[in-house]
Structure 1
Amino acid sequence: MTTLTLVQGDITRQSVDAIVNAANSSLLGGGGVDGAIHRRGGPDILAECRRLRASRYGRGLPTGRAVATTAGNLDARWVIHTVGPVWSDTEDRSELLASCYRQSLRVADELGARTVAFPAISTGIYGWPLDDGARIAVATVRAADTAVEEVRFVLFDERAHAAFARQAG
């Protein structure tokens, strides 16, 4: 059974086997969590992302998929990059958001990761409503068939922590 832990803080400061990056499809860094992971993790992460773009993901990583790289200077073994969907009030993209969590856990299992830190995927610049994003994240992780022992949701602020706490109950 996977233990869910909620932490308010900086995901780049977590000591875990794998840190999940809310990446953009280019895999070449960006703002928010993505930028913070690339800055603190250093150039090795970007170098591996560039290799992925030059080989398997020439058009970028598709939304809802996940791929791993080194964690560089982070206190983790791997970074699992996943591309969350942009919120839409005209199209239900919930399955794509759930896929981010499922696919990240699948990659974690392939790597042998036992502890994984997740951000609140898509709830920042991608505009996903925080309460709904928390609901999808918690429900998807709880339903996942995974060998990961601890999923740590690392929430940037009190508002996000409270939304996840309501769902984790």
Structure 2
Amino acid sequence: MYETNYPNKRFKHTIQFLEKHISHSEKILDLGVVNPFTKIMQKHGYDVINTKGEDLDINTSTIENSNVDVTTAFEIFEHLLSPFTVLQSIKTSKLVASVPLNLWFSSAYRSKTDMLDRHYHEFEDWQFDWLLEKAGWKILDREKWTNPTKKIGIRPMLRWFTPRYYIVYAERI
């Protein structure tokens, strides 16, 4: 049932993990603006709404006032100065979230052209687990995967063996 032409491995793993834990009858608030993965979730039968692009470090009203069953956050927490505040503001009892993992052989991502497209945090799995637990979430499932490239070199070779993405399913304690 899964398309073989996903833009990348991350989307394939993410939708499989989401379908493992979240029913298609549950309404989802996806943190972040509408993006290519929003369309993939909708194509797979999910009812998804997104936040509107507000600065979630400052304004969590959309999260607090949403009437949904599940919150998803795919590669957004690394862009926030205070992901703890956002995690605490979530009113749903279910959370599916993914983050890029810190790679010891590569510096944190920072766009040279977009001031907002930067990673303030690239987590190790235990750091993200601790953040979630401290914000009142219990992790019930987790997965990691690599992000290989077809480039030549030492760092591209390391990407074949070193996990880059980490996804969790958690419920409010």
TM-score normalised over the length of structure 1: 0.43
Larger Rg: 2
Task: Give me the TM-score of the superposition, normalised by structure 2.
Answer: 0.43
Structure having the higher helix fraction is 1
